[in-house]
Amino acid sequence: MSNPSRALHLVAVALLLTPVACTTTTDPKPPRDTTSATQVTGPLCAALPTGTDPGNPSFLADQPVDQALRWIPTLTTFEAALRTSGALTDLPTGTDVTILAPSDDAFAATFSEDNWDDLMTRHTDQLRTLLKAHLITGTHTIDDLVTAGTTATLDGTTVTVTRTGPTARLADRADAVCADYRATNARIHIINAVLGALPKTAGDTDERAH
Amino acid sequence: MRHQRPLAIAVATLLTLTLTTAPTPANAQSAAAPNQVTNLTIRQADGYATLAWQPVDGATDYQIERTAVDATGTPTGAPTIVGIWRPNRQINQQAPTFADAGFNPGDTFQWRVRARAGTTEQPYSDPVVATTTAPWGNPDTPGEQLRTQWETAHAAQYTSDTDEYAYTAAIDALSDRVRVVELGRTVQNRPINMLVIGYPTPATTPEAVAATAPVAINCNVHGNEPGDREACLIMARQLAFSTDPRITDLLSHTTVLIVPTINGDGRANNTRGNSTGQDLNRDYSLIRQPETAAYIKMVRDYRPVAGYDGHEFGNSRAGDLPMLPPRHQNVAQPIFDQSQDMIEGHMYTKGAEAGWWACPYGCEGGGNVGLSEETILRNTLGLKNVANSLLELRSSGGQTRPDEGNTANNRRRKTYSALWTFHQFLDYHRADRNDILTSRAESIEIQAANTGRLVFRGSRPIPAHPAPHPGDSPPPLDAPRADLILDNAPCAYKLTDEQYNGARTDGPGGVGTTVAQRIAAHGWQVIKTNDGWYVPLNQPERGLIPLLLDTQGVEKLTDGERVYPTLTGRRNGPLTVTGFTCAADATINGPVTVQPGAALVATATTISGPVSANRAAGVVLADSTVNGPLQITTTNAISIIDVTIAGPASLTGNTTGTTAALLAGNTIRGPLNCTANSTAPTNLGVANTVHGPRTNQCAAL
Ligand SMILES: [Zn+2]
């Protein structure tokens, strides 16, 4: 999925999603819970469960974080990796956590399939470190993170967070594409690039063999 | 139809239809603005809507616009371009169709279509408002009311392992047509289930199912490609409960075998490979893993005659549904041709009706994919004489679809296009059942004749479709390299006991099954003499055997010793066979007696006198003539394929173990009697012509 122009790819997403976003704002029957607590923001949000769809942000707000992650369609790679790595269950029970969750497209643009399977099945330590690069203790809104300017992820890295137009940019490489999901003791921000120190292994062609 | 593309006829028919059904009366035409699309029609199906319209002269392509509307037709969302139609999407470009999917089934929409000349947009058609088809099954009818987790979650979640087991168990419990069987277990001990579906009930044993010319769908080998699996689960419910005469007719003429999740561990972890990191679609010949071994044993026991193997694709530039036949050059030509007919003859034609863009895998900017590895199920099945195709569900984005990533809408586009394909697969089998069985029988006889070169790696070409090709380029040529061709095929491979029974380390946790176990899983005949184990090539999977046992095999199991014929040309007088004797292109004038412990393997050979074997190691004959009786008793390995036998034939008291004696495609000008064999002989679904009575264990052969 690594097109020659990743940027163009994302612009296309945004363009296509913008009209859909209008659907939610003009919906004559908004979902029962419209408190700011369940307001998610970003160009990807409209393509994720909205309104009263199963897995909508209001529903997820009452869910344990591991369950909430299973409802967000574009996080299948991250969700499975988090489970496999044990990075979340390693935390003391009740720890508040903020999750910077790379989308499936982000993982596909970063790791070759062979490399990813190797990490998932043979290198749990590396995988755990990679996942910790996406976890922050405490529940932080994306605005809080921008205001602070930097944040520390559980792998010990300091990540810069800056405002870029309507969204936030992390570590100078990832944009928040749908931020401020709530779950029990947690915030989830979907980002469009993988953080951490592992090298890119995805090829320049988006072919993958059957 | 099998050996020729029905293309010309199909196009002609469609042209006629276009001319006769296009209303376009003069007054209607004048009411339309210049270059406005007219006669937009929408046909609803499971999870998608087929748009069709009158083409506009000079149009480069067309944009399809969809708008969510409420029950009164009032828009509830902004109009969105959900697709582009362009000529290379379909083979009959004069009658454009577009399958729009990627919406919640049951919702109501308004569609419009407009042409573009270059980049210049022309006026939109008049709008058409329609309600899409809700998920299949009456919510108030037991059975029909079942839904998968994926459906209930509006595609936000895939169906979990436990939900799959519960769902398929409920189908099994509520439908007489369905039996769920466990084929094996994954490395992490998840069940590998298969739905066996027939009407009014599925045949009770694998052998009885095999007699119905079954079709097999492998839904999910790569754990991170689950789109086909959801289609399989929905189709299982339709097949189990539908009262549509089409469905009951289909199920009356075959048995549908659906394996939803061969790679349950990979699915649970969303990895491509299994829990050991092994890509299972690089293991179907080697069968190092329990998952692939389970599938290959299923193929041996249930003998599907046609198959599909479901995947998802990362190439956003390709068509909707990339497909590919078994291309390995050792696949018998009739199976390759039949598979191509299924893809290009049927799927391209039906895709042009439904609006789905089937195209060859590897088409747009093909890359080095879709090649000849026999480890890939597509090729493994072809080498096992199963007409089949790969199916890819395209990724998001590209030239004719919106870029929606791994969202619910794109998941629906993938799954409902797979559902369309699998239904078409069943229709193809129903329509071309006799051709499929004929090509299979021919291929088994071609392979058993053991003629022609062997190729270790290398593909048959997939020529560009002349329509033109519904894709911009054909898959890579992938011709065999000179050092991967063996012109002089051996008669057999000889393995030492260590090679055959020795411990192996190539399985999960460093423990592999033996070569003996893997050969048994493939179902090959093996002859044990006192100096080793012989695997003759004159049997139905001739093209696969060298890939695993020859020293030149690219991904082989062991380095078998090539054994060449010891008896060729004319030989007069009685022949007493001792040891391992291989006859090829021979004429033996006289009776042949196979001594205890000895073996006779023969191809293209004529034997005048009677052939008798008692307590022999094996008798394996193909493409030969016996101008006298054939009597085999108390022998261990027996395969008689495409042999003309003048006298009576009898198989008595043979001890062939779990590998049944094969009697397939023979002509016997006398009675055929099989008595007291440890396993009843089989004909692999390739009937024998027997002039006399058939009795006892061979009564149905
Ligand atoms: Zn695949």
- The answer on B519 and B613 residing in a single domain is yes
* B7 falls within a domain: no
- The answer on B691 and B620 residing in a single domain is yes
Please write the tens of the pLDDT for every residue from B547-575: 999 999 999 999 999 999 999 999 999 99
Task: Mark yes or no for CB contact A9/B411 under 8 Å.
Answer: no
B 186-225 residues with CB below 8 A of A?
224
The residue segments making up the domain with residue A88 are: 33-191
* A26 falls within a domain: no
SS3 B468: coil
- The answer on B187 and B231 residing in a single domain is yes
* B379 falls within a domain: yes
Nearest to B406 among A76, A118, A205 (CB): A76
Task: Mark yes or no for CB contact A70/B270 under 8 Å.
Answer: no
Say yes or no to pLDDT of A28 above 90: no
* A198 falls within a domain: no
Q: What is the mean pLDDT of chain B?
A: 93
* A66 falls within a domain: yes
Question: Structurally, how many domains does chain B consist of?
Answer: 3
B351: domain CATH number is: 3.40.630.10
The residue segments making up the domain with residue B696 are: 488-701
Rounded to whole angstroms, how far apart are CA atoms B615 and B633? 6
User: What residues pair up with B561 in beta bridges, in sequence order?
Assistant: B494
Please write the tens of the pLDDT for every residue from B386-398: 999 999 998 888 8
- The answer on B164 and B115 residing in a single domain is no
User: Tokens at residue B112, please?
Assistant: 């419009």
B392 to chain A: nearest residue by CA?
A210
A 125-144 residues with CB below 8 A of B?
none
pLDDT score, position B526? 98
B106: domain CATH number is: 2.60.40.10
pLDDT band at A15 (very low <50, low <70, confident <90, very high): very low
Question: Structurally, how many domains does chain A consist of?
Answer: 1
Cβ distance B636 to B616 under 8 Å? yes
The minimum CA-CA distance between A149 and chain B, rounded to whole Å, is 30
* B510 falls within a domain: yes
Please write the tens of the pLDDT for every residue from B313-369: 877 777 899 999 999 999 999 999 999 999 999 999 999 999 999 988 866 665 678
pLDDT band at B468 (very low <50, low <70, confident <90, very high): low
- The answer on B529 and B435 residing in a single domain is no
Last residue of a domain, one of B440, B455, B470: B455
- The answer on B106 and B176 residing in a single domain is no
B503-to-B262, B511, B529, B555, B657 alpha-carbon distances in Å = 26, 8, 21, 18, 22
B 322-341 residues with CB below 8 A of A?
324
Cβ distance B100 to B83 under 8 Å? yes
* B10 falls within a domain: no
Tell me the percentage of chain A whose pLDDT exceeds 70. Answer: 80
Please, which residues have CB within 8 angstroms of residue B537's CB and are 6 or more apart in sequence?
Answer: B450, B489, B490, B491, B492, B493, B545, B546
Task: Mark yes or no for CB contact A16/B402 under 8 Å.
Answer: yes
pLDDT score, position A100? 98
The minimum CA-CA distance between B671 and chain A, rounded to whole Å, is 49
pLDDT score, position B109? 98
pLDDT score, position B314? 78
- The answer on B192 and B125 residing in a single domain is no
User: What residues pair up with B218 in beta bridges, in sequence order?
Assistant: B259, B309
- The answer on B159 and B115 residing in a single domain is no
A91: domain CATH number is: 2.30.180.10
Residues of B in contact with A1 (CB under 8 A): 314, 316, 395
Q: pTM for this structure?
A: 0.92
Please write the tens of the pLDDT for every residue from B184-213: 999 999 999 999 999 999 999 999 999 999
- The answer on B173 and B266 residing in a single domain is yes
- The answer on B492 and B435 residing in a single domain is no
Nearest to A118 among B268, B277, B406 (CB): B277
Q: What is the mean pLDDT of chain A?
A: 84
Nearest to A19 among B80, B368, B392 (CB): B80
* A156 falls within a domain: yes
* B65 falls within a domain: yes
Say yes or no to pLDDT of B601 above 50: yes
Rounded to whole angstroms, how far apart are CA atoms B507 and A47? 42
Task: Mark yes or no for CB contact A206/B407 under 8 Å.
Answer: no
* B553 falls within a domain: yes
Say yes or no to pLDDT of B659 above 60: yes
> Using a CB cutoff of 8 Å and minimum separation of 24, what contacts does A48-54 make?
A48/A72, A48/A73, A48/A74, A48/A178, A48/B156, A48/B407, A48/B408, A49/A73, A49/B154, A49/B156, A49/B408, A50/A23, A50/A24, A51/A24, A51/A27, A53/B154, A53/B156, A53/B408, A54/B152, A54/B153, A54/B154, A54/B156, A54/B157
Please write the tens of the pLDDT for every residue from B106-155: 999 999 999 999 999 999 999 999 999 999 999 999 999 999 999 999 99
* B2 falls within a domain: no
In this complex, is the C-beta atom of A11 within 8 Å of any C-beta atom belonging to chain B?
no
Please write the tens of the pLDDT for every residue from B481-502: 999 999 999 999 999 999 999 9
Find, among B605, B590, B587, B595, the residue nearest to B642 by Cα.
B605
- The answer on B180 and B42 residing in a single domain is no
Which 8-state DSSP code applies to residue B319? -
Tell me the percentage of chain B whose pLDDT exceeds 90. Answer: 87
Rounded to whole angstroms, how far apart are CA atoms B549 and B289? 18
Please write the tens of the pLDDT for every residue from B602-621: 999 999 989 999 999 999 99
Please write the tens of the pLDDT for every residue from A152-208: 999 999 999 999 988 999 999 999 999 999 999 999 999 999 999 999 999 865 556
Task: Mark yes or no for CB contact A73/B314 under 8 Å.
Answer: no
pLDDT score, position A18? 32
* B174 falls within a domain: yes
Nearest to B271 among A54, A73, A117 (CB): A117
A51 backbone φψ class: left, alpha, beta (φ>0; ψ -120 to 50): left
Tally of CA atoms within 13 A in the half-sphere of B587 that contains its CB: 4
Tell me the percentage of chain B whose pLDDT exceeds 70. Answer: 94
